[in-house]
Amino acid sequence: MESSDGESCLVVSGFGPFGEVTRNPSGLVARALAGEPGVRAAELPVSFRRCVPEFDALLAGSRPRALLGLGVHGGDGYRLERRARAVLTSEAPDNDGLRGAQIRLDGPPERRTELDLERLAGVLEAAGSARVEISEDAGGYVCERLYRHLLERAEAGRVPGVFLHVPPLSEVPLDAQLGAVRSLAGALLG
């Protein structure tokens, strides 16, 4: 994306509150990064229908160098997601009441990141992240919906793209999550 000084930069998206998650660390990290040089970031709604057009609005008129999606999961560490499937399996409703199991996406059965996730996991671990997993299951919820779209946009723009699930704030404080994501961002751009 283009920053205010006209340079291409990293695009980061996170999500807002949903269900019992009143403070979603993924959205808080994205909002914190939004003002940093070389970053264009936004908090997206937890909505199967609205997350994609809002992500596209974030991309509009820009030249991304890399795309990084963030979401929260219930575990105690970080999860780098390898793939996003066309069949969303979640029965949990989004903030608009829609369930993933009601959605069928066009295209191939799955899309995969081409990034070296083992290397990125090492970057997160070197930054002090206690537990980092590489996942084959992005959850079947709004995160997976957005990740599939993010990978489509990354492929079309010939830029790297990846999705990171972060832990709840009760497991890892916001400042530590922000540091981990900054390290990952550096690896994506470096």
Q: Which domains are delineated in the chain?
A: 9-189 (3.40.630.20)
Count of Cβ atoms closer than 10 Å to residue 35 Cβ: 8
Nearest Cα neighbor of 29 from 144, 139, 186, 167 is 167
pLDDT value for 128 = 86
Distance CA 50, CA 10 (A): 22
**Could you state, in chain order, the average pLDDT of each consecutive group of 10 residues for the chain (190 residues)?**
57 98 98 93 98 96 93 96 96 96 91 98 91 96 98 97 98 96 95
pLDDT at 98: 96
Bridge-based pairing state of the strands 78-81 and 83-85? unpaired
d(CA 45, CA 20): 15
User: Can you tell me the distance from the alpha carbon of 78 to that of 106, in angstroms, rounded to the nearest whole number?
Assistant: 29
Could you tell me the pTM of the whole model?
Answer: 0.95
Q: Hey, is 155 helix, strand or coil?
A: helix
CB 94 within 8 A of CB 48: yes
Find all residues with CB under 8 Å of 188, minimum gap 6, and list them: 10, 65, 66, 68, 115, 120, 160, 162
